[in-house]
Amino acid sequence: MRRSFAAGLAALTLLLLAGCGGSKASPSEVPEQPSEEPAPPEPTAEELAAREIETILSSLTLEEKVGQLFFVRCPAEHAIEDIGTYHLGGYLLFGRDYQDAAGSWLTEEQFVQTITAYQDAALADTGIPLLIGSDEEGGTVTRASRNPNLFSSPFRSPQQIAVEAGGRGEAFAEDALEKSNGLKSLGINVNLSPVADVSTEPKDFIYDRTLGQDAQSTADYVASVVAAVREAGGMGSVLKHFPGYGNNVDTHTGIAVDQRSLESFFSSDFLPFQAGIRAGGGTAAVLVSHNIMTAVDETLPSSLSPAVHQLLREDLGFDGVVMTDDLAMDAVAAYAQDGAVAVLALEAGNDLIITTDYRTQIPKVMQALEAGELEESVIDAACRRVLTWKQTLGLLLPGERIS
């Protein structure tokens, strides 16, 4: 009886041990379990944005990529046709573009219809919206706000705002925000402002267009304006005129040579540009002047100098859009062989070409590419930055591009 009870207890113990895993199977008896690889991480917003740019870039022809690099003065004739013919990146508006053929101010409805027609033409061509720019510095340089049908009065200059504000720091941001919202409502998406030049001498050519105060005060002003424009959304700022005008003469009419030391630029003129770049968060571009900066390049105007552009990229760390001042100015006319000044500008490191003469310059760029004198990689790098700027400004809407 005790033997049978012990035997039964032993059998029960063995069963329990087997159920609890006490019995170890040989390796050959263990079924193989499929290995689970970790799921790849979801792409970040930045990665998705970069993929979108690469997709658009790869879909463009060489002619279309070149056209995107031209931010040109809106022509008096054939403006809509030229958007498709040259695949233009943008139109820069001047006083006449706010008037009709008879010289009368356009109504708001007429102006908006005109800009809409330009954008429709761009969408029908490449599917990529245009940059629509205007010089709205305030004071002596205003375009849109001189039209009384669009704004109640011309925009005030930085110096006027400073005087009226009586030292109240928020005044510049408030003015910039109001200005940006007004321009956006008209279809304008780039304001070629603020002027980041440092000038404290009323006799200087650039003085009236500047804050008229020292470098640090100018840097604070520029940062305030650019941050407000960024807050408004959908509007690009343009910091000008790198590397800093100083007391140089007007480059519209001739060559300006700046012989200041590089140290003086870093301690003064560069401060507003650095402040604007930090405040922009990708919404601000930099416009390069035609001044010859002898401390960096004794031969070429800054707009055509690879050394000056390298300084901007490497020393100031700017990776956004760099654009030329107007290449139709007399200060650069003599530097290009066969008149192909846009080719020099692209080789120097510019991403956007501002010019009136695009009907001549775009074919010259294409000729340089076909002859192997200009690398397509240069065009790709510039076009990538231009498309990224448009994306940052909210112009590249999902599904908008026409394939």
Residue 9 has pLDDT above 50, yes or no: no
C-alpha to C-alpha distance for 13 and 17, rounded to whole angstroms:
6
Contact present, 141 and 135 (Cβ < 8 Å): yes
| Angstrom distance (rounded) from CA 261 to CA 242 | 15
DSSP string, 65-85: HHHHTBEEEPPSS-HHHHHHH
The pLDDT of residue 10 is 39
289 touches 252 (CB < 8 A) = no
In the predicted model, what is the mean pLDDT of residues 283-297? 96
Residue with tokens 């020292």: 214
CATH fold, domain 57-392, is: TIM Barrel (3.20.20)
Whole-number percent of the chain with pLDDT over 90: 79
How confident is the model over 36-47, as a mean pLDDT? 84
Q: pLDDT tens-digit profile of 175-199? A: 999 999 999 999 999 999 999 999 9
3-state helix, strand, coil in the chain (%, to 5): 50, 10, 40
- Above 60 in pLDDT, residue 383? yes
Per-residue pLDDT band for 49 (boundaries 50, 70, 90) equals very high
pLDDT at 280 over 90: yes
- pLDDT of 333 reads 75
Residue-range domain boundaries for the chain: 57-392
pLDDT of residue 252: 53
pLDDT, one tens digit per residue, over 230-254 is 999 999 999 999 999 877 655 555 6
d(CA 62, CA 268): 41
Q: Inform me whether the pLDDT recorded for 147 exceeds 60.
A: yes
| The pLDDT of residue 39 | 81
Q: What is the DSSP letter of 337?
A: G
Mean pLDDT in residue range 323-331: 87
How confident is residue 14, by pLDDT bands cut at 50, 70 and 90?
A: very low
Average pLDDT over residues 257-286: 96
Q: Please provide the average confidence, as pLDDT, over all residues in the chain.
A: 89
Rounded mean pLDDT, 4-30: 42
Tens digits of per-residue pLDDT, 79-124? 999 999 999 999 999 999 999 999 999 999 999 999 999 999 999 9
Which band of pLDDT confidence, cut at 50, 70 and 90, is reported for residue 31? low
Residue 126, C-beta contacts closer than 8 angstroms, at least 6 positions apart: 60, 64, 67, 68, 87, 401, 402
How many C-beta atoms surround the C-beta of residue 135 within 10 A?
21
β-sheet bridge partners, residue 293: 258
Residue 331 has pLDDT above 90, yes or no: no
Task: Please compute the mean of the pLDDT values over residues 21-44 and round it to a whole number.
Answer: 63
Which residue from 98, 79, 100 is spatially nearest to 90, judged by alpha carbons?
Answer: 79
Total Cβ atoms within 10 A of residue 316: 16
Q: What is the DSSP letter of 1?
A: -
Q: Which tens digits make up the pLDDT trace of 16-27?
A: 334 444 444 454
Q: What is the mean pLDDT of residues 370-380?
A: 97
Average pLDDT over residues 219-229: 97
Q: Does residue 63 register a pLDDT over 80?
A: yes
For 243-383, strand residue ranges (E) read 257-258, 284-288, 292-293, 322-324
